[in-house]
Amino acid sequence: MMEALKGTELCYPHLNSSCKKPTHPYTQAMLIYVLLSSISLVTVALNLLVIISISHFRQLHTPTNLLILSLAVSDLLVGFLLMPVEIIYIEACWFLGDIVCTLYYVVDYIITSASVANMVFISFDRYVAICDPLHYPTKVTKRKAQVYVCLCWICSVVYRILLLNDHLEQPGRSSSCFGECVVVINYIAGVVDLVFTFIIPITAIIVLYLRVFLVALSQARSIRSHITDVTAQRSRTGAVKKTEMKAARTLGIVVVVFLFCFCPYYYPTLAGEDTSIDASSAAFEIWLAHFNSCLNPVIYAFFYPWFRKCIKLILTLQILKPGSRDIKLL
């Protein structure tokens, strides 16, 4: 009887090398399911609204919005493909085999890399727009934005295939038993990933946004120095303070959220350890990194008034009316 009970706790009861079925207390499991499912649904909904808005309205077909569109696509894939798989296998064994497991992680890493690369391109776009506005129309065009987006995805695919080449050649090499989906990134590969997916991007974002903030601050001081009328000066000073605060807040949100979401994932590498990723563990660091995809549309889109207008038009089905593509939003 005890042997039969033990057998029911295994993914493959007839194999001695089978993994045990993941188990959580019922209440805890339900809370995890509800929370993670809600995050997945919100991530899909928010990014889908961004994609529909930019794709539908012609006035939004700008280089900046093309980059935001690419970011929204990568974040949508996180919520639509990656999160549901991890939710399903919280209380289930992995029965899809080692090859599918490896491909899942390759796709996971590609999408995550593309999302981070898109953030860097958006930072660069805003840097050029504010720091070199006269040359912005020639430096950043729709055509160039399309090239940037293609390079972003192509480089992410090539980079991740090279990084996970060992796992592609030998699927399941990290699994200790049958019924689990685990990929272990060795320390050297982890350092490479840390440098190219975390340190370089976050450094670029900080430098670009810091430069933007300093330029905005310099322009604000220049405006104040040319004001002679006291009344005008007071009103202008209030506007300047708002501009300064908005620039500082945007910089802080972008950097802090990115660090907050990705630091726990890269902690093993920073501590000199291998990085183990398990699809069925619902690991906090994995979900926190993926949660960044839910926050991105809030950071990069909800700050735009046109997006709020688009949400209203979409939810009220106004976009189904003839000529809705030419509605003025700006």
**pLDDT by residue (tens digit) across 20-41?**
776 767 787 788 888 889 999 9
Tokens of 40: 């997945």
Question: Does residue 182 or residue 152 have the better pLDDT?
Answer: 152
Residue written as tokens 């370089």? Answer: 200
Per-residue pLDDT, 85 = 84
Angle at which helices 63-77 and 284-300 cross, to 10°? 150
**Which residues neighbour 292 within 8 Å (Cβ) at sequence distance 6 or greater?**
115, 257, 258, 261, 262
Tell the burial category of 281 from Cβ atoms under 10 Å away from its Cβ (0-12, 13-18, 19+): middle
Strands (E), the chain: 182-185, 275-278
- Residue 141 confidence (pLDDT) above 80: yes
Residues above pLDDT 90, as percent of the chain = 14
What digits encode the pLDDT tens for the residues 44-58? 999 999 999 999 998
- Report the pLDDT value the prediction gives residue 246, as an integer from 0 to 100: 56
Helical H segments across the chain, by residue range = 2-8, 26-56, 63-77, 83-88, 97-131, 136-139, 142-163, 165-169, 187-194, 200-225, 230-270, 284-300, 305-315
Residue 184 has phi, psi (to 5 degrees) of -110, 120
* Sign of the four-CA dihedral 268, 272, 273, 279: positive
Asked if residues 323 and 56 have their Cβ atoms less than 8 Å apart, the reply is no
* Inter-residue contact 87 to 33 (CB < 8 Å): yes
- pLDDT beyond 70 at 195: yes
Q: Classify residue 136 as exposed, middle or buried by CB count within 10 Å of its CB (0-12, 13-18, 19+).
A: middle
Six-digit token string for 175: 């699994």
Q: How many Å apart are CA 151 and CA 112, to the nearest integer?
A: 15
Count of helix runs (H) and strand runs (E) in the chain: 13, 2
Calpha distance 253→270 (Å, rounded)? 23
**Does residue 11 have a pLDDT over 70?**
yes
Any idea what DSSP says for residue 78?
A: I
Q: What is the pLDDT, as a whole number, of residue 162?
A: 87
CA-CA distance, 190 to 285, in Å (whole number)?
A: 15
Residue 309 predicted with pLDDT over 50? yes
Provide the percentage of residues in the chain whose pLDDT is more than 70: 81
* Cα(222)–Cα(245) distance, integer angstroms: 17
The string of pLDDT tens digits covering residues 144-165 is 999 999 999 999 999 888 888 8
Report, in angstroms and rounded to the nearest whole number, the Rg of the chain calculated over CA atoms.
24
CB atoms inside a 10 Å sphere around CB 305: 10
Is residue 192's pLDDT more than 50?
yes
Domains of the chain: 25-326 (1.20.1070.10)
What pLDDT is recorded for position 31?
85
Average pLDDT over residues 177-188: 77
